């Protein structure tokens, strides 16, 4: 396989990985991989049954220590910038901030969250970067008022920002003309994507920026979420070409996010070191060309938080439909939308209320409480209902949907007037902290009114 720079490169698959990478991969896997198991008695040392009884269900539980480990994997990059869209709970933001991780924001709300978690706008590199394809009016007012660095994904953003804040520095997000994701819905490159500035419009953008005396200090590419290293590695070459076209005003480059994370036993953790080496080589060539230091950022969301998260739900009905057995939970796609949106696979486990561990397995369909037939966690892309071999369980037992820390709570909704779930962070010192209380009925109707 050839990467953008024309070197031989490996693919993140269990077979065909060169031996020296294979050795490192095994070390990584054993060091801190998600432990796949279909009976789970504890999360970060705390019994699931205790967590469920103390905080109720459905509840997202995050293992703070695991987030720290995933951050540590990436320390080789100059800056780790957390894409908080994956999980923007303030307790999670605070944890990553204390680890020295900077933050990305895609809305005025996310800028507000970053500030509420202790990030202070400004700095070098900027603590908070606003990355989007548009400014809504609220966001434009906010970034100008707070001096938030902006990463422009459209020529219109450059013009609108330049009008309001001429003379500063901006970053450009470029669409390199290709992309890749775990689903077509998470592919953010190519002509079908709305994201970024098309790669052949760079000269136009330079002219636009100079009209407002804006300096292009950063360059960013993000081709998709849940992609693989084969595709991610192609970004280096594309970014290098655009950077050379822009020239020596560039002080920082960002590899974007998109790092995959294991959801299945067979998934292999990415070789961060090999990925870094590719980017570092690109950065070095740019430094040589520009004659000054170039800062290298990575912008992960999923990689930092996916494995840390567990959605703990209670089984409220076990019923038979012809030949199928259904476990129906008190959590639905209002809590975790990834299966209905992408046919995404999440590992699942059972925590028996009586602590039983030697349980027989059976094929079950796992669904939620919503009044919609798509409310099924064991479905594949296209809405095809599938089943999972899980321990035999009864009403009152708990089912844990695992690897749910990224794009889980963050994409939750109040559909069917269900309250948003509670969130619990188990702090790195092992204390369960209620990071968000479950919504109440008053929360559900807040802001609504009846005329007259």
Given the complex with ligand LLP, which of 256 and 367 has the nearer CB atom?
A: 256
Given the complex with ligand LLP, which of 183 and 201 has the nearer CB atom?
A: 183
From the list 37-45, 46-54, 108-116, 252-260, the region that binds ligand LLP by CB under 6 A is 252-260
Contact between residue 71 and residue 96 where contact means Cβ atoms under 8 Å apart = yes
Using CB under 6 A as the binding rule, the residues of this chain from 358 to 397 that contact ligand LLP are: none
Burial status of residue 213 (CB atoms within 10 A of its CB: 0-12, 13-18, 19 or more)? exposed
Q: Report the nearest approach of ligand LLP to the CB of residue 348 (Å).
A: 17
Given the complex with ligand LLP, which of 114 and 352 has the nearer CB atom?
A: 114
Contact between residue 83 and residue 257 where contact means Cβ atoms under 8 Å apart = yes
Q: If binding is defined by CB under 6 A, does position 425 make contact with ligand LLP?
A: no
Using CB under 6 A as the binding rule, the residues of this chain from 276 to 335 that contact ligand LLP are: 299-303
Task: Give the Cβ contact number of residue 219 at 10 Å.
Answer: 25
Q: If binding is defined by CB under 6 A, does position 338 make contact with ligand LLP?
A: yes
Q: If binding is defined by CB under 6 A, does position 111 make contact with ligand LLP?
A: no
Contact between residue 87 and residue 305 where contact means Cβ atoms under 8 Å apart = yes
| Distance from C-alpha of 180 to C-alpha of 387, rounded to nearest angstrom | 28
Q: If binding is defined by CB under 6 A, does position 154 make contact with ligand LLP?
A: no
Q: Report the nearest approach of ligand LLP to the CB of residue 206 (Å).
A: 22
Q: If binding is defined by CB under 6 A, does position 259 make contact with ligand LLP?
A: yes
Q: If binding is defined by CB under 6 A, does position 86 make contact with ligand LLP?
A: yes
Left if phi > 0, otherwise alpha if psi is -120 to 50, otherwise beta: which for 442? alpha
| Distance from C-alpha of 75 to C-alpha of 69, rounded to nearest angstrom | 10
Among 97, 113, 180, 222, binds ligand LLP (CB under 6 A): 222
| Distance from C-alpha of 377 to C-alpha of 178, rounded to nearest angstrom | 31
Q: If binding is defined by CB under 6 A, does position 119 make contact with ligand LLP?
A: no
CA-wise closest residue to 352 among 389, 388, 400, 311 = 400
Q: Annotated catalytic, 152?
A: no
From the list 80-88, 92-100, 211-219, 236-244, the region that binds ligand LLP by CB under 6 A is 80-88
Q: If binding is defined by CB under 6 A, does position 225 make contact with ligand LLP?
A: yes
Q: If binding is defined by CB under 6 A, does position 407 make contact with ligand LLP?
A: yes
Q: Report the nearest approach of ligand LLP to the CB of residue 211 (Å).
A: 26
CA-wise closest residue to 221 among 165, 269, 282, 136 = 282
Given the complex with ligand LLP, which of 9 and 342 has the nearer CB atom?
A: 342
Contact between residue 272 and residue 261 where contact means Cβ atoms under 8 Å apart = no
Given the complex with ligand LLP, which of 97 and 173 has the nearer CB atom?
A: 173
CA-wise closest residue to 168 among 134, 135, 128, 217 = 217
Using CB under 6 A as the binding rule, the residues of this chain from 8 to 67 that contact ligand LLP are: none
CA-wise closest residue to 195 among 228, 230, 225 = 225
| Distance from C-alpha of 128 to C-alpha of 116, rounded to nearest angstrom | 12
From the list 135-143, 221-229, 263-271, 311-319, the region that binds ligand LLP by CB under 6 A is 221-229
Cis peptide before 223 (omega within 30 of 0): no
Contact between residue 352 and residue 47 where contact means Cβ atoms under 8 Å apart = no
Strand, helix or coil at 373?
A: coil
From the list 251-259, 272-280, 320-328, 362-370, the region that binds ligand LLP by CB under 6 A is 251-259
Among 57, 186, 193, 234, binds ligand LLP (CB under 6 A): 186
Q: Report the nearest approach of ligand LLP to the CB of residue 428 (Å).
A: 22
Largest CA distance in the chain: 74
Query: Phi and psi at residue 429, in whole multiples of 5°?
Result: -85, 0
From the list 68-76, 79-87, 199-207, 394-402, the region that binds ligand LLP by CB under 6 A is 79-87
Contact between residue 290 and residue 250 where contact means Cβ atoms under 8 Å apart = yes
Among 4, 258, 262, 309, binds ligand LLP (CB under 6 A): 258
Q: Which of 152, 205, 236, 371 is catalytic?
A: 371
Strand, helix or coil at 51?
A: helix
Given the complex with ligand LLP, which of 188 and 335 has the nearer CB atom?
A: 188
User: Helix, strand, coil shares of the chain as percentages rounded to 5?
Assistant: 30, 25, 45
Size of the site for ligand LLP (CB under 6 A): 21
Given the complex with ligand LLP, which of 391 and 412 has the nearer CB atom?
A: 412
Contact between residue 128 and residue 103 where contact means Cβ atoms under 8 Å apart = yes
Given the complex with ligand LLP, which of 301 and 432 has the nearer CB atom?
A: 301
Instruction: Catalogue the active-site residues.
Output: 371
Q: Name the residues that contact ligand LLP, by CB under 6 A.
A: 83, 85-86, 131, 186, 188, 222, 225-226, 256-259, 299-303, 338, 406-407
């Amino acid at each position: 396989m050839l990467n953008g720079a024309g070197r031989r490169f490996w693919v993140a698959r269990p077979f065909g990985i060169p031996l020296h990478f294979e050795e490192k991969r095994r070390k990584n896997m054993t060091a801190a991989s998600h432990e796949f198991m279909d009976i789970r008695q504890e999360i970060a040392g705390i019994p699931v049954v205790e967590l469920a009884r103390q905080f109720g269900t459905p509840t997202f539980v995050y293992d703070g220590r695991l987030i720290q480990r995933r951050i540590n994997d990436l320390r080789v990059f100059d800056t780790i910038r957390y894409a908080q869209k994956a999980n923007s709970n303030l307790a999670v933001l605070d944890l990553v901030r204390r680890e020295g991780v900077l933050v990305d924001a895609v809305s005025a709300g996310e800028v507000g969250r970053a500030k509420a978690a202790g990030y202070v706008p400004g700095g070098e590199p900027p603590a908070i970067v606003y990355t989007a394809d548009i400014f809504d009016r609220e966001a434009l007012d906010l970034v100008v008022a707070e001096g938030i660095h902006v990463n422009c994904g459209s020529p219109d953003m450059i013009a609108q920002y330049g009008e309001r804040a001429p003379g500063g520095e901006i970053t450009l997000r470029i669409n390199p003309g290709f992309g890749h994701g775990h689903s077509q819905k998470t592919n953010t490159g190519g002509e079908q994507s709305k994201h970024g500035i098309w790669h052949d419009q760079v000269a136009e953008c330079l002219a636009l920026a100079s009209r407002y005396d804006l300096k292009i200090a950063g360059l960013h590419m993000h081709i998709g979420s849940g992609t693989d290293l084969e595709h991610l590695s192609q970004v280096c070459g594309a970014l290098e070409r655009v950077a050379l076209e822009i020239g020596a005003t560039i002080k920082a480059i960002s590899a974007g996010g998109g790092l995959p994370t294991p959801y299945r036993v067979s998934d292999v953790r990415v070789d961060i070191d090999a990925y870094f080496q590719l980017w570092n080589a690109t950065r070095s060539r740019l430094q040589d060309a520009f004659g000054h230091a170039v800062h290298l950022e990575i912008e992960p969301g999923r990689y930092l938080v996916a494995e840390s998260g567990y959605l703990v739900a209670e089984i409220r009905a076990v019923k038979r439909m012809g030949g199928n057995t259904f476990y129906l939970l008190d959590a639905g796609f209002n809590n975790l939308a990834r299966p209905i949106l992408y046919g995404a696979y999440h590992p699942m486990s059972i925590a028996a209320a009586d602590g039983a561990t030697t349980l027989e397995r059976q094929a079950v369909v796992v669904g939620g409480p919503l009044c919609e037939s798509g409310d099924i966690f064991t479905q594949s892309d296209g809405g095809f209902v599938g089943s999972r071999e899980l321990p035999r369980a009864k009403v009152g037992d708990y089912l844990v949907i695992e690897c749910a820390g990224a794009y889980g709570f963050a994409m939750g909704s109040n559909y069917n007037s269900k309250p948003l779930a509670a969130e619990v962070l188990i702090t790195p010192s092992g204390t369960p902290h209620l990071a968000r209380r479950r919504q109440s009925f008053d929360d559900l109707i807040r802001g609504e009114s009846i005329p007259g």
